[in-house]
Chain A
Amino acid sequence: MIDLLTIFVLAVFVGFEVVSKVSTILHTPLMSGANAIHGVILVGAILITGRAEGALEIALGLAAVFLATVNVVGGFVVTDRMLEMFKGHKR
């Protein structure tokens, strides 16, 4: 319990720190990239579906797997497309 809390508190600080300075033009890609990262819920979705036995649990778990996958792949691909636009236009 305390271990998990420690991890949480440390991660809060890391999260604050990594994006404390970011230029306006990168706000949208950064938001989109962070969006893709919370798609890591896919890991949780796979784990619970792997344990599920009842039909309802399996159905809910699979729905979560599907949605989380859309979040992950969509998020990374959209971010990459945005960043691709900046290629060759840097100062």
Chain B
Amino acid sequence: MSPTWVQLAYLVAALCFVLALKGLSTPKHARAGNLLGAAGMALAVVVAFVHGAVHNGLLIVLAVAAGVVVGIPAARSVRMTAIPQMVALFNGVGGAAAALVALTEFLEVADGSVLFQVATALTVLIGSVSFSGSVVTFLKLQEVMTTRPVLLPAGRVLGIGVAAASALLAVLVVVTGSGALLVLLAAAGLALGVLFVLPVGGADVPIAISLLNAFTGLAVAASGYVLANTLLIVSGTLVGASGTILTRLMAQAMGRPLTNILFGAFKARDVTAVSGEQRTVRSGTVEDVAILLGYAHSVLVVPGYGLAVAQAQHAARELAQVLEQRGITVDYGIHPVAGRMPGHMNVLLAEADVPYENLKELDDVNPGIGSVDVVLVVGANDVVNPGARDEPSSPIYGMPIFDVDRAKAVVFMKRSMRPGFAGVDNALLYNPKTTLLFGDAKDSLTKLLAAVKHV
């Protein structure tokens, strides 16, 4: 057991973490909360180092320095649009660290109690799942691999098989205390993480990240039992519990039960064949759209990830200003999951100085959407897809959307006919009210801005 002063310092750190999570739940205290969390962490790390670095002190300092040199520039330089995958990656390395800690402790302390063995097996298993799962979510968000659900042949059987094998290995590790089996368990955990995330598609990936985040928390809590360290137990459990709640809240914001998201894709689902019928779309010129906008009374801009990627926020804001000078009301409809993660679009638009009061949420917009003259969909797709409302067979069925098909006219700015992040075709594109404007969002908006000035 550690001396009293160490325990006290850990208590203060744990308190900082609780207050940090509390602060992060309210806009007013979010930043202070985060800084308090960082301060608690600094305290805990310094105390652990002073008290625990009996050997290898210099090496530990070097490893921490290397982590700082890698971590800070990565976090500083990442573009706002790429933040979700960065969060996934940081979560993954945390999971890997927990697994390594338990493995190392296992090698150092050969004869542990049953509690120790159980905790070790759990930490290694959950940490490995979290690591490989996070890496796959990273690859999906970075679009290195397809964002659609990946269904392996017999994926379900394989998943259940690997899960059963992992459970068996975990029991064997506890019974035999074999290091070799523990390494096998880690390998099984890695496979399980990949199988777990592969079938999760497009818009649901952030929810998987949030769940893996909770998993890493649990792995850290379990490692607290391995090391008999209360700070690890408390902090890990805090993250595990709050992460679970957060995952549920995020799923609710998308109007989807969690089990659907995680296991929905296991069911053989025939994504509605669209290729059979040739539906026609109407594409317009910048001038057509400028006239449409110039004579409108109210305009709703629905921004999506495409706007963010094209860095078109500033162009959108300028266009809105010009329209407002003509006496047109311009609002922004911000879907809770626009972008790549809940709240992501708010961050991106805040970066572009779009006035906060102009950002409207679903419930503010939808009741009056029938009287909106023109909806300008900029690089968004899934959040305005009527299929989420009308087609029970659609993978995004049940997700709340902007009912833009009920507005008087829709202008859809898109790079190509390629489906959106969720990989689902959008009936709105074929709606007679819809005018398509192909091209890069920033480019189109800039041209539109010039054209509107001449209307």
Contacts and interface: CB of A to CB of B under 8 A. Distances in A.
Contacts of B67: 65-70, 72-73
B74 to A, nearest CB: 6
A31 B25 CA distance: 10
B52 A46 contact: yes
Interface string B48-75: 1100111111011001101110111011
B147 interface: no
Contact of A43 (B96, B232, B343): B232
A51 B55 contact: yes
Contacts of A40: 13, 17, 41, 44, 220, 231-232, 235-236
B57 A50 contact: yes
B228 to A, nearest CB: 7
Given A25-B343, A27-B246, A69-B71, A38 B94 contact: yes
B262 interface: no
B246 A19 contact: yes
Nearest to A42: B45
Interface residues on A, range: 35 or more
B55 A52 contact: yes
Given A33-B24, A70-B93, A45 B241 contact: no
A51 B232 CA distance: 17
Interface in B211-258: 213, 216-217, 219-221, 223-246, 249-250, 253
Given A12-B241, A18-B25, A73-B72, A41 B105 contact: no
B60 A46 contact: yes
A14 B18 contact: yes
Interface stretch (B289-297, B345-353, B366-374, B418-426): B345-353
Interface in A15-73: 15-16, 18-54, 56-58, 60-73
B86 A29 contact: no
A28 B87 contact: yes
Interface string B186-211: 00000000000000000000100110
Contacts of A22: 24-26, 246, 249
A91 B357 CA distance: 7
Contacts of B56: 49-50, 52, 58, 61-62
Interface size class of B (residues with CB under 8 A): 35 or more
Interface in B86-104: 86-87, 90-91, 93-94, 96-98, 100-101, 103-104
Nearest to A77: B75
B25 A19 contact: yes
A37 B17 contact: yes
B232 A44 contact: yes
A57 to B, nearest CB: 5
B304 interface: no
B37 A76 contact: yes
B107 A56 contact: yes
B101 A11 contact: no
B11 to A, nearest CB: 11
Given A27-B250, A62-B60, A52 B233 contact: no
Interface of A: 1, 4, 7-8, 11-16, 18-54, 56-58, 60-87, 89-91
30 contacts: A8-B221, A8-B237, A12-B240, A15-B245, A16-B245, A19-B249, A24-B336, A26-B26, A26-B27, A28-B84, A32-B90, A33-B37, A37-B41, A38-B220, A44-B227, A45-B101, A46-B48, A51-B52, A57-B104, A58-B56, A58-B59, A60-B103, A60-B104, A62-B63, A70-B90, A75-B90, A76-B34, A78-B75, A83-B34, A90-B356
